[in-house]
Structures are given as C-alpha cells and as structure tokens.
C-alpha cells in the first residue's frame, strides 16, 4: 500500500498552484481545475461525468443517485435560513436536478469544542423542519468533535440517495442540444446577498432573505409534464454564470442569454451594486436552470409556474452552435458580452 501511495497516478505536476486557495472552493474555475486534474483522474471510474451534481448507479432494475455536499457557511444563521436547512436543501436539490426523487439522507457533523449546545439544537431543529417539509428522512449520521480553534463552530456534510422514477430521464451536463431553451425558476442572487447582509456588509430597510428551498417537487412537476429535459443544474456556488459555463463546455455548445429576462429583487440588485459583485456569479440555494427542447419549453414553464418555488419561472436564453463552450449575454441596448465562469473566490463560505 505504501508503494501504491507513493506511485499513485495523480498528475501531480499539472496543477498550477502548490497550495490550496480559497478559490479552489468557489465552484468556479479553480474548483474545476482541482476536479479535472486531481479528483477525477484519481477517484472517478473512467468515463464518469464528474460535473453532474449527483451520480447514477443501478441496483437491479432501479436507477439510483448518490450525492454529497459539505456545508461550511458563515454565519451559521442568516435571514431565511441556517446551515442545517441549507444542508438538507442542498442535497435534495442535487438529487432533484439529476431527475431523482430524494429517498434518504445522511448527516455528519464536525463540531468545535465549546460550541453552545443551544446553537446545535437550533440547527438540528431546523434540519428536522426542512426534512418534514420535503418529506425526506435523515436515516444515519456521525458526530466528530475537534479541539477549540480547529474548525469554525459547525460543519455539516450531508449525502443523499434518490431514485429515478421517470423511465426515460437522461439529464446530463453534456446533453444540451443546439436550439434548446434555457429556463430558470425565478430571480437570482438572493442567497449570496442574504449571507453578506448577515455578515454586516451592508444594511437595507427590507432584509434580503436567502432563497434556500427544496426543489424536488418542482422538478417532479417538470418531469411529470412529459417534457424531455436535457440538462438541469441548481445554481449554487459560482451562480448562474458558472452553471451555464459548465453546461456549455460539457456539451460543446454556445449558450446565449438575455439580460432583460433575468430577474432580481431590487434590494438584491442594490446590494450587488454596493459590494461591486456580479449577480450572475452570486450563489443561490433555491434556483435551477433546465435546458429543454424548444417544443417542450412551454410545458416546462407551466409546470414550474404551478409550483410554489417556480412562480416566476421564465425563459432566459437559448443553446446555439456558435462559440462552443462560451456563454454570451445580450444587453438591453443590443450589446453582447461574454460571461465567464467565476475566477477566484468572491464570497468564501457562502454555503
């Protein structure tokens, strides 16, 4: 084993940075470099598509999905949510956007010595409420405690297993087709700005609430409509821009979006301006995009709008043959600009 360890096949030399940077956790360029150059070659089975939110495996005739996410959000509590709610929703949503019905979750806690018990109790109560609302159960868990100063209060890692009930479902990052329509289920950037306001970065009269929400019933409505969904992605770290870039790159297509079709709450827009942040790069926790065949766009829109988390759903763009791998945005005055994936890290510990 020691030998195997020392002669592992990781492409050691191809990673540019010799140390981990905050940007390696951004969900943007550096995260992808780490996945593509280290984790994927070492760990994933050949041919496995690393960029999907959850990975499909089969048991008998059933197609199941497994996903995991760690949550390190700071602060633990923020307007509209907390780390526990986020951990439940995040895993539900990763399963949902793969077309799976969430079945069971696990939750592993890393706690800092000295954490106030009432804070942990509040987090666990919130997880309970989130599970009950979503109709899923946490069936197993783990607790580790590290010495004071060796973590930051609480980190939670959830994993989840879901089952793909709809027989024809084939949602994958590399499945976008020229001519497809890009649909989003609502306004963007609220989660990131809720965290920034909880950090005291700015103050508005109307508080900005995180959009954290479980999206599995919305996805079920979309799949029940009979639409053929080619790609689906929840818009977390790295925001709308990073998700679109991932899909454009994986599918080797261009994606054109229209600025006028992308909505934001006024306070969110104002906060992004104050902080100098690009809203397209800001994290969401209750938003997804679906990329669907044009003849299915209308029924997907209607299905989303019939769900409480999709009332404001709208078409925001199209998949094109031009500029494969790139995302471009048309501005209201007729201009067009390239929307890159997030580089570096603008908002550490947003989830």
- Token pair 């679109």 is found at 244
Distance of alpha carbon 296 from alpha carbon 167, whole angstroms: 18
289 binds its own copies (CB under 8 A): no
Among 28, 29, 36, 55, binds its own copies (CB under 8 A): 55
| Shortest spacing between CB 153 and its own copies, in angstroms | 9
Q: Closer CB to its own copies, residue 184 or residue 341?
A: 341
45 binds its own copies (CB under 8 A): yes
Contact 38, 127 (CB under 8 A): no
| Shortest spacing between CB 121 and its own copies, in angstroms | 5
Among 29, 99, 109, 284, binds its own copies (CB under 8 A): 109
Binding mask 184-213 for its own copies (x = CB under 8 A): ------------------------------
Strand ranges of the sheet holding 62-71, from the earlier edge strand across to the other edge: 55-59, 62-71, 154-163, 101-112, 137-146
How far is residue 268 from each of residues 201, 238, 273, measured CA to CA in Å?
13, 16, 9
| Shortest spacing between CB 146 and its own copies, in angstroms | 5
8 binds its own copies (CB under 8 A): yes
Q: What tokens does 103 get?
A: 């079945």
Contact 292, 231 (CB under 8 A): no
155 binds its own copies (CB under 8 A): yes
Q: Closer CB to its own copies, residue 108 or residue 275?
A: 108
44 binds its own copies (CB under 8 A): yes
> Beta 327-330 vs 336-338: how paired, if at all?
antiparallel
10 binds its own copies (CB under 8 A): yes
113 binds its own copies (CB under 8 A): yes
Among 93, 100, 102, 157, binds its own copies (CB under 8 A): 157
274 binds its own copies (CB under 8 A): no
CA angle 175/181/185 to nearest 5° reads 100
**Helix H or strand E segment including 87:** helix 83-96
Contact 213, 285 (CB under 8 A): yes
DSSP one-letter string for 26-47: SSSHHHHHHIIIIIHHHHSPTT
Distance of alpha carbon 46 from alpha carbon 225, whole angstroms: 34
Among 135, 146, 273, 337, binds its own copies (CB under 8 A): 146
Residues 6+ apart with CB under 8 A from 147: 113
Q: Closer CB to its own copies, residue 46 or residue 334?
A: 46
344 binds its own copies (CB under 8 A): no
Among 28, 29, 69, 281, binds its own copies (CB under 8 A): 69
Q: Closer CB to its own copies, residue 43 or residue 321?
A: 43
18 binds its own copies (CB under 8 A): yes
Among 36, 75, 108, 275, binds its own copies (CB under 8 A): 108
| Shortest spacing between CB 251 and its own copies, in angstroms | 20
Conformation bin of residue 166: beta by default, left when phi > 0, alpha when psi is -120 to 50: beta
25 binds its own copies (CB under 8 A): yes
What φ, ψ does residue 163 adopt, rounded to 5°? Answer: -125, 135
């Amino acid at each position: 084993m020691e030998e195997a360890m020392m002669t592992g096949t990781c492409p050691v030399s191809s990673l540019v940075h010799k140390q981990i940077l905050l940007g390696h956790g951004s969900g943007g360029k550096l995260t992808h470099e780490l996945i593509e150059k280290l984790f994927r070659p070492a760990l994933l089975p050949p041919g496995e598509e690393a960029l999907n939110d959850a990975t499909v495996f089969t048991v008998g005739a059933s197609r199941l999905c497994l996903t995991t996410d760690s949550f390190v959000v700071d602060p633990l509590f923020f307007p509209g949510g907390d780390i526990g709610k986020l951990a439940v929703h995040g895993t539900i949503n990763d399963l949902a956007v793969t077309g799976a019905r969430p079945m069971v979750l696990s939750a592993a806690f890393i706690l800092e010595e000295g954490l106030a018990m009432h804070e942990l109790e509040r987090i666990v109560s919130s997880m309970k409420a989130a599970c009950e609302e979503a109709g899923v159960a946490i069936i197993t868990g783990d607790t580790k405690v590290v010495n004071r100063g060796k973590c930051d209060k609480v980190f939670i890692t959830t994993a989840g297993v879901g089952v793909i009930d709809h027989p024809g479902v084939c949602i994958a990052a590399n499945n976008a087709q020229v001519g497809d329509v890009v649909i989003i289920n609502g306004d963007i950037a609220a989660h990131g700005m809720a965290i920034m306001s909880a950090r005291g970065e700015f103050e508005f009269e109307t508080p900005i609430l995180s959009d954290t929400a479980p999206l599995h019933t919305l996805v079920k409505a979309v799949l029940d409509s009979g639409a053929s969904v080619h790609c689906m992605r929840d818009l977390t770290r790295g925001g709308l821009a990073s998700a679109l870039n991932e899909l454009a790159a994986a599918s080797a297509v261009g994606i054109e979006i229209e600025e006028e079709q992308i909505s934001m709450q006024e306070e969110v827009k104002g906060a992004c301006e104050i902080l100098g942040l690009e809203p397209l790069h800001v994290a969401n926790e209750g938003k997804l995009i679906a990329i669907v065949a044009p003849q299915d766009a209308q029924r997907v829109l209607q299905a989303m709008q019939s769900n409480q988390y999709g009332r404001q759903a709208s078409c925001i763009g199209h998949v094109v043959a031009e500029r494969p791998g790139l995302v471009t945005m048309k501005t209201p005055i007729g201009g067009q600009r390239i929307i890159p994936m997030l580089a570096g890290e603008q908002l550490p510990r947003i989830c």
